[in-house]
């Protein structure tokens, strides 16, 4: 079964850090680019970060640039999102998603169920 | 960072046709980059509905169709059904900002 499973969410204090994981199964993980997308309570989907198949190319949304870091370990079929200096407006469900084909701007065809990050003192 | 604009809501009676617009610019939809559409129910994973402007993944009914013209794209739902009540998002790539972008989202209500 082709799937992505996120983990690592929870409640964290402002200014602290957390690492989210996205573990893949049922497909060749190393041949797909991976994205992180979030949805804050009552808000729409917001694209957060992208990483290429080999991890050499990374893009970030302006809202997280310099605070978040995306990485991957193809030997573990896992992608990560390191979230640092967390703020209240980072509170959201964080989804990881697979890009359909390694063509810039392609669709996200497989999504995880999401992991909730709550930033609160 | 929503550079793609959608109407907040659209509604229709069962069986009717509704369309959702997605307005971008010359650096995203107006380029050769494709537009994709997702259906999202609260508490679930978003679902890819239309990819590469007008293609449907396996299992998506042909009641859903997509198109693009200039710097705008559209999603049409014909034969509206109660199960189509959800939030819908367009998505593309912005070549100037070098970021992926989602639309502002549209809530579809079946009357």
pLDDT in tens, B67-109: 999 999 999 999 999 999 999 999 999 988 889 999 999 999 9
- Name the residue among A61, A95, A112 with its Cβ closest to that of B1: A61
Question: Residue A90: helix, strand or coil by DSSP?
Answer: helix
Mean pLDDT value across chain A = 95
How confident is the model at residue A101, as a pLDDT? Answer: 85
Question: Residue A31: helix, strand or coil by DSSP?
Answer: helix
Find the mean pLDDT for residues A92-103.
Answer: 92
Structure tokens at B104: 């502002």
Find the mean pLDDT for residues A107-118.
Answer: 97
Q: Which of B2, B46, B96 to mutate to test the interface with A (most CBs of A within 10 A)?
A: B46
Confirm or reject contact between B66 and chain A (CB < 8 A): no
**pLDDT band with cut points at 50, 70 and 90 for residue B2:** low
Confirm or reject contact between A3 and chain B (CB < 8 A): no
How confident is the model at residue B97, as a pLDDT? Answer: 86
Confirm or reject contact between B98 and chain A (CB < 8 A): yes
Find the mean pLDDT for residues A12-40.
Answer: 97
Mean pLDDT value across chain B = 94
Q: How many CB pairs under 8 A join A and B?
A: 73
Contacts of A34 in chain B (CB under 8 A): none
Q: For residue A34, is pLDDT > 70?
A: yes
Q: Do B33 and A45 touch (CB under 8 A)?
A: no
How confident is the model at residue B91, as a pLDDT? Answer: 97
pLDDT tens readout for residues A45-87: 999 999 999 999 999 999 999 999 999 999 999 999 999 999 9
Pairwise CA distance, residues B86 & B69, whole Å = 25
Return the bridge partners of B51, or none.
B55
């Amino acid at each position: 079964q082709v799937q992505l499973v996120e983990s690592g969410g929870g409640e964290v204090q402002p200014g602290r850090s957390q690492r989210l994981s996205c573990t893949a199964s049922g497909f060749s993980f190393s041949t797909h680019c991976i994205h992180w997308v979030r949805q804050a309570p009552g808000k729409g989907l917001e694209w957060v970060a992208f990483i290429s198949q080999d991890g050499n190319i990374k893009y970030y949304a302006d809202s997280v640039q310099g605070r978040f870091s995306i990485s991957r370990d193809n030997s573990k079929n896992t992608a990560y999102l390191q979230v640092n200096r967390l703020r209240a407006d980072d509170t959201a469900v964080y989804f990881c998603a697979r890009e359909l084909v390694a063509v810039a701007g392609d669709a996200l065809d497989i999504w995880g169920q999401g992991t909730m990050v709550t930033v609160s003192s | 960072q929503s550079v793609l604009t959608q109407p907040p809501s659209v509604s229709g009676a069962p069986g009717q046709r509704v369309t959702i617009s997605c307005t971008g610019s010359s650096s995203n939809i107006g380029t050769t980059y494709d537009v994709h559409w997702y259906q999202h129910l609260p508490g679930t994973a978003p679902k890819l509905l239309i990819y590469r402007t007008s293609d449907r993944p396996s299992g998506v009914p042909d009641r859903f169709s997509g198109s693009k013209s200039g710097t705008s794209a559209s999603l049409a739902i014909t034969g509206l059904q109660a199960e189509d009540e959800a939030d819908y998002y367009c998505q593309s790539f912005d070549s100037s900002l070098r970021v992926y972008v989602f639309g502002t989202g549209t809530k579809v209500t079946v009357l």
